[in-house]
Structure 1
Amino acid sequence: MTLRYSVDPDITVATTIASSFYRDEAAYAHARERVFARSWQWIGDAADVAEPGSLSPRTMLAGCLDEPLLLARDAAGTLRCMSNVCTHRANLLVGEPCRAEQIRCRYHSRRFDLAGRMTFMPEFAEARNFPSASDHLPQVPFGLFGSQVFAAVEPAAPLDAFLGDIRERLGWMPLDEFRHDPSRDRDFEIDAHWALYVENYLEGLHIPFIHPALNQVLDYHQYSYELHRHANLQLALARDGEMAFELPPQSPDHGKRVAAYYYWVFPNLMLNFYPWGLSLNLVQPLGVARTRIAFRAYVWDASKLDAGAGSGLDQVEMEDEEAVEAVQRGVRSRWYHHGRYSPTKEQGVHHFHRLLCEFMAHEP
C-alpha cells in the first residue's frame, strides 16, 4: 500500500496535512516504518554504561517500534549498541543494567563477548557452517549528543543531519555536565494522535490563549522560529526582569535575553534548554489515538530551577494536553479536512508536515 500526502512548500497558500492522517490505522502503521524506523530515536543517557564492562538494556520507542537494544562498553572502553535478542531462539539477553565480562543467554547458554560476537554454544558441534555472521548480535546505528544516546533502525541520514545545527548553536553549553534528576521526571498519556501533540509544541500562536503564566514571562512579540533540515528552533526571549540565560561571548545569541531554546527534532523529540538545564520530552505513539509523553530532566544549574520559562512545566503540560485532546475529537469530524497555516507563527507546523509527507512517500 502506498499512502501519499502533500503540503504545498509555500506556507502562504498551503493547507495542512489531510485529517485522514490522524484517523487511519493504515497511515499509522505506514508511519511506524517510514517515519520512526528511519529517524533517530532517543534511548536514554549513557550514565550507567560509563565504565568498561557495563551493560544496559534499552527499548527503542516503547509502544511503537518496541525494539530491544543493548548498550555495551567493552574492556577497552568502546561503547556499542546492538540487538538485545539472542540469535539462537530470540530470548531477551540482558534484563537490567549490570557489569559483566560476557553476555550469556539464560535460555540455552549461548554466549557473546561485549562486542556482540558469539563465543560459545552447547550442543552445536554437529551443526554445519556454524557459527556464521548471523550468529553474532546485530550492530545498531547509534550516536551521542552530550551524554544522550540515539539509535536508529535504518536512518535516512546521519545523526548530525538531525542534531548538527543544535550542536553548533549550543556548543558553549557543557552538555556532558548535565545530570539527570529523576525527581522531576514525568510520564503522561493522552487520548490523541502523536502528531497532534507535536504540532501543538511547534507553534507559539496558542501561548497567549492557553498558557497565561508562561505568557507572563515570555516576550511573545519577539518569539521567533528557525528551520533546519530535520529540526527546528523556537527562540523564546524573556520579558524584562524575568529569568534569562547568561550567554557567553561565543554564543551566536550573545546580547539577547533568551528565556528558552525550544528545539524539536524530527519526528518526536523536544529538547527544551532553560537556564537551569534540559527538559527532554519524548513523544511515544501507542496507537492511532493514544500517546505517551516522557519528560526527563537534566540539571545544569540547580539555583535557577523553578524560575522563568522553565518553571511550572507540569501546569503547561496540563494546558497543552487539554487542547490536544480537544483537537483529536475535532479531527474526527466529517466536516473537517484541513486548515491553513499562520505564515508568521506556524512555520514549525508547516515544516513538520512537509517532512512527514517526504518520509511517508519514501519507497524502500
Structure 2
Amino acid sequence: MTKYFVDPDIAKAKTLHADFYTDGDVFEQCKEKIFTPSWQFIGDEDLVKEKGDVHPFVLLENYLNEPLLITRDKNGDINVLSNVCTHRGNLVADKACKLNNLRCRYHGRMFNLDGSFISMPEFKEVENFPTGDDNLPKLNVFKWSNWLFTSLNVKFPHDLFFRDMTERINWMPLEDFKFETSLSRVFNVKANWALYCENYLEGFHIPFVHAGLNAVIDFGEYATELFFPYSSLQLGLAKTDKDCFHLPESSPDYGKNVAAYYFWVFPNMMFNFYPWGLSVNVVEPVSVGECRVKFFSYVWDASKLDKGAGAGLDKVEQEDEEIVENVQRGIRSRFYQHGRYSVTREQGTHHFHRILAEFMNK
C-alpha cells in the first residue's frame, strides 16, 4: 500500500504523488480511510419538517452507496438510520413520505421512527429474539442551525471539523437562510475529487483563471487561515466596501471589506458565505478521474444576488472545471510525479495534502 508523506514545512514540501489522482486502488482505499470516518453534509431539517416525516437517500451515490433514512420521530427528534432491514437486507423506505412507523414490504418487519425494533411476523420460534442487532443501526447526527451532517463511522468529534467556522460567523442570522432550488446545481467534472478540492483551496489561480472575480477581490489582500486540524478559511477581501458584509463590532473581521468567506471542511465540503447567503458545495467522488459537485444555495438577502464576489458563480464554476479537467489529463503524464508549493499562496492546498497523507497512512 502506498505511503504518502508531505513535509510540514511548506518551503521544503512536495505535493502528493500523482498516483493519488490516477490509481484505482488508491481511489478505493479512500472510501474507508477518508470518507467513512469523516462527516458529510446530508441536507437540512426541512427534509423532515413534521413528526412522521421520512426521507430516504443514498450517501455519496456511486461511491459509498450507503442507503440511509432521515426521520422525525414522535418526540420531534431527527434521526439518521440505516435504510436496510435487519431481516434480509431489503430497503425499508423507497420514497419520502409520512409514517407512524417503518415497515419492510418484504416480510413485514416493523420499526419505530427512531429505528428501534417493534415486531416481526412468524418469528415466535426464533430463540434469543429480538436483540439489539434487530434495531436499525442509528448514526450520529450533527445539527448546525438548519443543516444536518452524519458520519458512517465516527472517529472524530464534529468540533474538530466545524468549530472554527461556526464561531467565526456566529453573528449571522442563519435561521433566516432559506434553501433556493432554482439556484442549486449539480456539475459533473472529469477530474479526481481531490484535484477539485485543492483548486478550491488556493486563490493563487484567481488572476489567471477568474477575470470577473479578480475584478472584485483584492488579490493582494487575499488571505488563507488554517484551522487545525480539519478545516480552513480563505477570506475574500474586496477592493472597496461595495457589496460587502456589514460586520458587527463583535466580528473578528470588523473593519475589513469582506466580500466572501470561503470555508473548507475536510474532506469534500465548501461553505461559501456571501452577503446574499450561502452556497454549500459538496464534492462527490464518482471514479478515479471523475467527480460530481453539488451546489446547495441558501438565500439570506435576495436583493444582493448577482452582486460582488457572490455573482456569476456558474461562470466561475465553468472556469474551475476547465482547469481541473486539464490537470487531470496532465497529471497522468509519465513525466509528472510531484510539484512544489508557493509558500505565500498555497498554504490551504498544502494543509489539505497533509491531512490526506495522515488519513491514508492510518
Residue number in structure 2 paired with 1:149: 148
Q: Distance in 2 between the 1:151 and 1:32 partners?
A: 15
Structure 1, gaps ≥5 residues long: none
2:337 counterpart letter in structure 1? H
Residue number in structure 2 paired with 1:140: 139
Asked if 1:344 is matched to 2:344, the reply is yes
164-173 vs 152-161, which deviates more?
152-161
Residue number in structure 1 paired with 2:276: 276
337-346 vs 247-256, which deviates more?
247-256
Shift of 1:117: 1.1
185-194 vs 240-249, which deviates more?
240-249
Contact 2:57–2:67 (CA under 8 A) maintained in structure 1 = yes
SS of aligned partner of 1:140: strand
Residue number in structure 2 paired with 1:250: 250
Contact 1:43–1:61 (CA under 8 A) maintained in structure 2 = no
Q: Distance in 2 between the 1:121 and 1:276 partners?
A: 51
Asked if 1:291 is matched to 2:305, the reply is no
Residue number in structure 2 paired with 1:71: 70
SS of aligned partner of 2:159: helix
Asked if 1:265 is matched to 2:265, the reply is yes
For 1:203-245, what per-residue CA distance to the aligned partner results, in whole angstroms no more than 9, with x for missing partners?
0000000100000011110000100110000000011153100
Residue number in structure 2 paired with 1:300: 300
Shift of 1:65: 1.0
Residue number in structure 2 paired with 1:20: 19
TM-score, length-scaled by structure 2: 0.98
Q: Distance in 2 between the 1:98 and 1:255 partners?
A: 48
SS of aligned partner of 1:336: coil
For 1:116-158, what per-residue CA distance to the aligned partner results, in whole angstroms no more than 9, with x for missing partners?
1111111111111111111100011121122111110112311
Asked if 1:237 is matched to 2:248, the reply is no
Asked if 1:38 is matched to 2:23, the reply is no
* Runs ≥4 residues deviating over 6 A: none
Residue number in structure 2 paired with 1:115: 114
Shift of 1:159: 1.0
Residue number in structure 1 paired with 2:199: 200
Contact 1:217–1:242 (CA under 8 A) maintained in structure 2 = no
Contact 1:60–1:151 (CA under 8 A) maintained in structure 2 = no
For 1:42-101, what per-residue CA distance to the aligned partner results, in whole angstroms no more than 9, with x for missing partners?
111110213222211122222211111111111111211111111111111112222211
Q: Distance in 2 between the 1:324 and 1:220 partners?
A: 21
Residue number in structure 1 paired with 2:359: 359
Residue number in structure 2 paired with 1:58: 57
Asked if 1:220 is matched to 2:219, the reply is yes
SS of aligned partner of 1:354: helix
Q: Distance in 2 between the 1:93 and 1:311 partners?
A: 42
Q: Distance in 1 between the 2:54 and 2:172 partners?
A: 28
1:185 counterpart letter in structure 2? S
Q: Distance in 1 between the 2:334 and 2:281 partners?
A: 32
Residue number in structure 2 paired with 1:104: 103
- Identical positions, percent: 52
SS of aligned partner of 1:205: coil
Q: Distance in 2 between the 1:165 and 1:96 partners?
A: 36
Residue number in structure 1 paired with 2:125: 126
TM-score, length-scaled by structure 1: 0.97
For 1:5-46, what per-residue CA distance to the aligned partner results, in whole angstroms no more than 9, with x for missing partners?
000000011010001111111111111110011110111111
128-137 vs 311-320, which deviates more?
128-137
Asked if 1:318 is matched to 2:318, the reply is yes
Q: Distance in 2 between the 1:328 and 1:4 partners?
A: 21
Residue number in structure 1 paired with 2:7: 8
Q: Distance in 2 between the 1:356 and 1:308 partners?
A: 33
Q: Distance in 1 between the 2:60 and 2:143 partners?
A: 17
Contact 1:43–1:59 (CA under 8 A) maintained in structure 2 = no
Residue number in structure 2 paired with 1:179: 178
Shift of 1:331: 0.6
2:359 counterpart letter in structure 1? F
Residue number in structure 1 paired with 2:208: 209
2:7 counterpart letter in structure 1? D
Q: Distance in 2 between the 1:214 and 1:338 partners?
A: 29
2:231 counterpart letter in structure 1? A
Q: Distance in 1 between the 2:34 and 2:164 partners?
A: 21
Q: Distance in 2 between the 1:241 and 1:133 partners?
A: 58
Aligned-CA RMSD value: 1.0
